[in-house]
Amino acid sequence: METYARLPVSLCRGRGVWVWDSEGRRYLDCVAGIAVCSLGHSNGRLRRALTRQLGRLQHVSNLYRIPEQEQLAATITARSCFDRVFFCNSGAEANEAAIKLARKHAQVVRGLVGTVERPPLILTAEASFHGRTLATVTATGQPKYHQGFTPMVQGFRYFPYNDTAAFEALLEASEAEGPRVAAVLLEPLQGEGGVHPGERAFFQRVRQLCDAHQILLIFDEVQIGVGRSGRLWGYERLGVEPDAITLAKGLGGGIPIGALAVKRAVDHFRPGDHASTFGGNPFACRAALTVLAEIERRQLLQHVQAMEALLCQELSALVQRHQHQLTGVRGWGLLQGLVLSGNGPSAPELVKAALAQGLLVVPAGPTVVRFVPPLTIRPRELHQAVSLLERALLSLA
């Protein structure tokens, strides 16, 4: 079905940060499946681990204990502030689980039994992105994604991101007639919405108010989690611990897996409350275990921090050289957005021109070009990526 406006290339194989199309043309991949292929393409350790796993067991039902899943949950909880994990297959599914958990939290902790007239509320940010299922697209604070699909799911309210006063006002209005809010759902850094990093003071205030009202604070780390920010989890960059976190994308390095990780105190799910046939199967868990082990073994967090400095430096120099078309750079780690001025090409135009030069980048809205390469990208390749982008800019001048 025509759900995607696809670019006219067929990608057939990849190695490291490089991919090749059906015509044999090579591209430097700073998209990585949109922040998915954290270890790059054809990674030897991932390939061997998955081949071994296929030779043992690829799938069993969650009717039974699954050792790989238990090991993955133990790894995630040992390296985070969370205690329990539910596994699924994508970011939207992880957020669906979080939304259900929020409603159960509202009942169990706040005594809020939702009705059609008075649904529990989930507060999310404008310009956010949380997925395309009906509940997660409703959570997504971008009206363009709602068009054609009304009525949306009940119980979502929006406020401007990083705007403490607006958040306080919305919370106060929502709670004016008694407990009403189940959860606040926020990306620590907004990816799809234009690469906007969260501000510490704002997130600290949200944490305070959620604590005061016993409201669940959920971070959507589907894009920024699992090392991309230069810390294992995006919340570490804010110095604020959420009650729950959602993960997907980079967690499996290209094998579909999503997760909802929660603190013990808000683990309200009981047997039968939620489920997924494929969620947390041995194959997908082996992929995630390998990604997490490689992040540690290769010290990729330190590497991402160093690459962040380098990429920002190179992109800032590019902005200096092309001040008419570019205005700045923003982001964390290896999720960086190059902001266009509006005087030159749009982000989709520049992305197309970059493709012609052999570079894959992806828009984040109409005025931001996003770099989300594999976490393993090397300095020489980053330098090459910025050179190719400059060529693309010049080709449009």
Query: Judged by CB, which is closer to ligand PLP: 101, or 388?
Result: 101
CB of residue 282 vs ligand PLP: minimum separation in angstroms?
20
Instruction: Rank residues 3 and 115 by Cβ distance to ligand PLP and give the closer one.
Output: 3
Instruction: For residue 270, give the 3-state DSSP assignment.
Output: coil
Cα 198 from Cα 127, distance rounded (Å): 12
Q: What are the two backbone dihedrals, phi and then psi, of residue 375, each rounded to the nearest 5 degrees?
A: -65, -15
SS3 state at 66: coil
**Which C-beta is closer to ligand PLP: that of 232 or that of 388?**
232
Of the candidates 58, 147, 149, 137, the residue with the CA atom closest to the CA atom of residue 91: 137
Q: Compute the radius of gyration of the chain from its Cα atoms.
A: 21
Between CA 251 and CA 278 the distance in angstroms is: 16
Q: Is 278 exposed, middle or buried (0-12, 13-18, 19+ CB in 10 A)?
A: middle
Task: With H, G, I as helix, E, B as strand and everything else as coil, classify residue 76.
Answer: helix
CB of 144 to ligand PLP, least distance (A): 15
Q: How far is the CB of 242 from ligand PLP (least distance, A)?
A: 14
Buried b (16+ CB within 10 A) or exposed e, 189-198: bbbbbbbbbb
CA distance 272 to 103: 15
Nearer to ligand PLP, 260 or 307 (CB): 260
| Positive/negative CA dihedral, 386, 388, 393, 394 | positive
Report the residue number, 95 or 336, with the smaller CB distance to ligand PLP. Answer: 95
- Residues contributing to the site for ligand PLP (CB under 6 A): 90-92, 95, 129-131, 187, 191-192, 220, 222-223, 248
Write down the least CB distance from residue 141 to ligand PLP, Å.
12
| Residues 74-95 as b or e (16 or more Cβ within 10 Å = b) | ebbbeebebebbbbbbbbbbbb
Closest distance of CB 195 from ligand PLP, Å: 11
The residue type of 177 is E
Choose between 187 and 267: whose C-beta lies nearer to ligand PLP.
187
Q: Quote the least distance from Cβ 322 to ligand PLP, whole Å.
A: 28
CB of 220 or CB of 314, closer to ligand PLP: 220
Of 218 and 388, the one with the shorter C-beta distance to ligand PLP is 218
**Which residue, 134, 180, 194, is CA-closest to 335?**
194
Distance of CA 276 to the CA centre of its chain: 20
Contact predicate 316/302, CB 8 Å: no
In the complex, minimum distance from the CB of residue 95 to ligand PLP, in angstroms, rounded to a whole number: 6
Give the nearest distance from C-beta 391 to ligand PLP in angstroms. Answer: 28
